[in-house]
Structure 1
Amino acid sequence: MFGSKKGNLFADNKPTLGQCDPEFIDLFTRFAYDEVVNEPGANHPDLDDATRSMAILATLLGCQGTDAFETMLPVALDGGVSPVQVKEIVYQAVAYLGFGRVLPFLNIVNETLVARGVTLPLEGQSTTTPETRAEAGERSQIEIFGEGMRGFAQSGPEETRHINKWLADNCFGDYYTRGGLDTRHREMITLCFLAAQGGCEPQLVAHAKANIGVGNEKAFLIAVVSQSMPYIGYPRTLNAIRCINEAAASAK
């Protein structure tokens, strides 16, 4: 799946990188779509092609790689990621990246799905109402982070307490409770959002620990970050691994 892009990367009725930069494309495709994919230390039994693709899409959202996202999206869809799963990855990104940075990706997804004959809108995935989202969000926080999250929405200094409320009812109540992705996949893509955008190391440590708590073991998280490395570079990859190691040590 990941070895089929050589020569036409980023093609759009324009000169391709394969035509203009053949030496670079040979170098990058051999590394990203062969060496990285097949490296034993960068793999894990739970990291099948579909899961790998979900991680890469989330990583490209995090680093604002719109052109690469548009190129990888058909690969992900052909490799077993469903339209609903793609939409859920993009929707959840709003909570971690903001609407301003996510809107271009949502447009890319819609254009790609329509071109592939997918009828939009897709079946709704919401499981909450305005009346139940806060309670459901707290349940999700407790499931992921533990009992210490009970009452979190009403905690903290008064002037910023509304942010804690929004984290419960919006981030977790509106997004994490949706269908399409299970909790393990939602925590995995959150890790990718945070690792790829950088500057979120405290949150990255917290979510690495949350990942471990919901069953995404340290070796799996390192494999996910390793597969994302070609898209975010070595510094953010090494920062993410440091955060994973810190989280794993504190989770013992």
Structure 2
Amino acid sequence: MSRTALVFGVSGQDGSLLAEQLAAEGTVVHGTSRQPAGPFPNLAALGLGDRVRLHGCRPDDIDAVRRLLDAVQPDEVYNLSAQSSVGLSFAEPRETIDSILSATVAILDAIRLSGAAIRFCNAGSGECFGETPPTGADESTPFRPRSPYAVAKAAAHWTVATYRESYGLFAATAILFNHESPLRAERFVTQKVVRGAARIAARLAAGQAAEPLRLGNLDICRDWGWAADHVAALRLMLRADSAEDFVIATGEA
């Protein structure tokens, strides 16, 4: 039987890569975006322009989400929406917390009220751990969030767990550590380095002076993975026999 998936935030790096994997396995893919009119460069880069059925829907609007669930009738729902920059969350704390937590609650409640056997995966974050111990973090490591973004992700994590335990939903959180691809937006550090170096090289080749590339603290270690591997883990989590929360990381700093 064919499977239908609904991806909130389908136009971002993770949403686009997930849509590519779902479409490749024969799943019918529906997606939402904060800018439903486009453009969608990530979907276009992956050749998915006509393979994803796009919808305009605010994930924090429970009535809109309920209408979309009724129309799409998905077997799986993935929440990859909301503000995703730790740095920006300090400048816009309320907006960040609202976009993450309100959307998670609205989607979970819409699934609960639908009564359908929908499986739900929420994108969590390794930022919830705060300063991760040198030995790394696993599913039993306490959360010590250090940013508005991390606070919101931690609250969303426990919201998912509450709906799973209290209402019997198949709902799980993927606690994602850093993961990158060429689809990443320039505000993220890997793309700052890559694009900054390219600009410097181009200016030097043209005999022009180049501004230096300025970064923050270079002593920080991060667990960085390949984004396609991380989103593959989301699919596997929803195909498991039971819903569980998992840390998704490479295990190497």
Higher share in strand: 2
Task: Choose between structure 1 and 2: higher helix proportion.
Answer: 1
Same fold (TM over 0.5): no
Q: Which one has more relative contact order, counting CA pairs under 8 Å at least 6 apart?
A: 1
The alignment's TM-score, normalised by the length of structure 2, stands at: 0.33
- TM-score under structure 1 length normalisation: 0.33
